[in-house]
Amino acid sequence: MAQFPITRMRRLRQSGAVRRMVQETKLSADQFVYPLFVTHGKNVREEIEPMPGCYQVSLDRLHDEIAEVVGLGIPGVLLFGIPSLKDAKGTGAYAEEGVVQEAVRAIKKRWPELAVITDACLCEYTDHGHCGIVRNGNVDNDATLELLARTAVTQAQAGADIVAPSAMMDGQVAAIRKALDAAGLTETPIMAYAAKYASAFYGPFRAAAQSAPQFGDRRGYQMDPANWRMALREVELDVEEGADLVMVKPALSYLDIIAKVRECVPLPLVAYNVSGEYSMVKAAAKNGWLDEQRAILEVLTSIKRAGADLILTYHAKEAARWLQAER
């Protein structure tokens, strides 16, 4: 290789125009999905304390949120539901008139072009806060599969474009694919939470969704943060079971996992920039410790650079605005 001064790497960094021309990783609003928390009630738009700028929104206030998302060119939303009542079996998750099912109908009626993704899990709907049926103090994997499948079917029947099972139950993708196909919903894709880690970065989300476990934790079914080979196996199994997209969650502490999955899986790869990652940046920016816009775009760029095709992020709206302004 040529040596200094023939090789001067700074030559391609001297102007903004040149930097844009040679930029290897480019962010776009097309790559974002915005998570939303929908709840029962009237005229509810309650800010989530640890997630400034994010809200619990009732169905009658959903219009403004979705109109903003569509106006910014963000192609999809991910819906989480907060039911009026919770029970041991998470009945609200698979009720035909459940809050997410109703939200899907409302959105698709007004914005049929928007991709609506639904979280297919029970944790937001159970009174114990776990992701499945609890028996003798443990989550019963196989008993949970039937309810996850019912949840996905009712969401797809309501009009969901993609169902996203997040419970980390063994066999959940296969059970949902079988149920969707039996219901005539053969064209509904599954976005598998394939490598979902038992992370400390979910705390703000659990406040937002009111889904913190009432006993124990979720390390019995979510992945150990120390493991990477197991993540590849989890992804491989979900692909074999019929997943159409696979996800790594969280994103920032698992950029290496995103990169490893990208190397070996040809499916669209999704990364979830989770609530705790969002809240850290917001808290630091509020205290003047970093430049909020630069930090957020740097975070999202790192996730994209690692290999993600889609990024689920609570920063989607503000990032889309900034990217529009840069054009």
CA distance 164 to 98: 16
Burial class, 321, CB count within 10 angstroms (exposed 0-12 / middle 13-18 / buried 19+) = middle
Q: Residues 86, 249, 260, 282: which is the catalytic one?
A: 249
> Alpha helices, DSSP H only, in 168-315?
172-182, 203-209, 229-241, 255-264, 275-286, 292-306
Task: Output Rg (C-alpha) for the chain, integer angstroms.
Answer: 20
CB-CB contact of 248 with 264 (8 Å): no
- Does residue 286 carry a catalytic annotation? no
Q: Residues 42, 89, 109, 196: which is the catalytic one?
A: 196
| Whether residue 112 has a cis bond before it, omega within 30° of 0 | no
CA distance 92 to 100: 9
CB-CB contact of 326 with 49 (8 Å): no
- Does residue 260 carry a catalytic annotation? no
- Residues facing 163 on adjacent strands: 118, 190
Residues carrying an active site annotation: 196, 249
